[in-house]
């Protein structure tokens, strides 16, 4: 699915002028984001924050506009995309093949949250700004990107209808757990991980019910084909 809201640049031919330009902008984005994060708690995700971060990072105004053409919304999107990248790197160091699918998903969701543990307020403010109508499709696209990254990281290769249902279900789980995390004051976020376990249990029960229903209805005739035969039979 194309992600027009994402600030990540499409791959260019190595060594090409466009490729070097894209690499240069990636460096500019990383520098601006690094300069912005310490101040998000105080300033929020604002145009003022973006301008000051670019100045502190030594990035010109023109270069900043090229790096983040959508302004502060692109900066927020860059922050969330970077979290997805860091989650994938962390999971790449784990032996996921030795885990059951339930354990993989639990670990992946927990890892995605933990990589931003030092920036919880920045995540909270990012979720808040992306929930506003003025953010357009940034929020849904960022959420889709995250759950898609989680499923791919744990080895999902589905291409049928399950591809979408898996991501829709996980989007609900991830959103609920993240909101719970924002208010969690327990040691090492123990309450959040307990909440995550319960949500994953709910998902697994739903999957078992779906599997049982599918198995029980396999002997039934295809309703579309049946209706078609009835229709033409009457003719």
Domains of the chain, with CATH numbers? 17-234 (1.10.357.10)
Per-residue pLDDT at 8: 47
CA–CA dist 95, 99 (Å, integer)? 8
Per-residue pLDDT at 201: 86
Instruction: Report residues of the chain scoring pLDDT below 70.
Output: 1-19, 21, 206-235
Q: Token pair of 71, please?
A: 């302004």
Per-residue pLDDT at 22: 76
74 Cβ neighbours under 8 A, 6+ residues apart: 5, 7, 67, 68
Per-residue pLDDT at 226: 45
Looking at every residue in the chain, the average pLDDT score rounds to 86
Greatest extent of the chain over all pairs of C-alpha atoms, in Å = 77
CA–CA dist 77, 86 (Å, integer)? 14
CA–CA dist 109, 170 (Å, integer)? 9
pTM given for the model: 0.81
Per-residue pLDDT at 161: 82
């Amino acid at each position: 699915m194309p992600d027009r809201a994402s600030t990540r640049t499409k791959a260019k031919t190595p060594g090409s002028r466009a490729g070097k330009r894209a690499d240069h902008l990636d460096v500019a984005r990383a520098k601006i984001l690094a300069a912005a994060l310490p101040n998000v708690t105080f300033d929020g995700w604002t145009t003022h924050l973006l301008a000051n971060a670019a100045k502190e990072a030594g990035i010109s105004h023109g270069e900043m506009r090229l790096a983040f053409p959508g302004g502060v919304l692109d900066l927020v999107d860059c922050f969330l995309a970077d979290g997805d990248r860091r989650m994938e790197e962390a999971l790449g160091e784990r032996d996921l093949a030795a885990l059951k699918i339930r354990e993989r998903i639990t670990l992946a969701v927990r890892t995605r949250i933990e990589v931003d543990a030092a920036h919880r307020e920045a995540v909270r403010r990012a979720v808040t700004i992306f929930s506003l109508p003025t953010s357009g499709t940034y929020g849904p696209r960022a959420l889709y990107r995250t759950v898609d990254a989680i499923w791919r990281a744990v080895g999902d290769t589905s291409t049928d209808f399950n591809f979408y249902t898996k991501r829709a279900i996980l989007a609900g789980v991830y959103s609920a757990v993240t909101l719970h995390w924002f208010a969690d004051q327990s040691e090492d976020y123990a309450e959040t991980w307990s909440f995550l376990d319960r949500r994953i249990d709910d998902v697994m029960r739903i999957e078992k019910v779906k599997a049982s229903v599918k198995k029980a209805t396999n002997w039934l005739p295809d309703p579309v084909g049946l209706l078609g035969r009835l229709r033409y039979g009457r003719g």
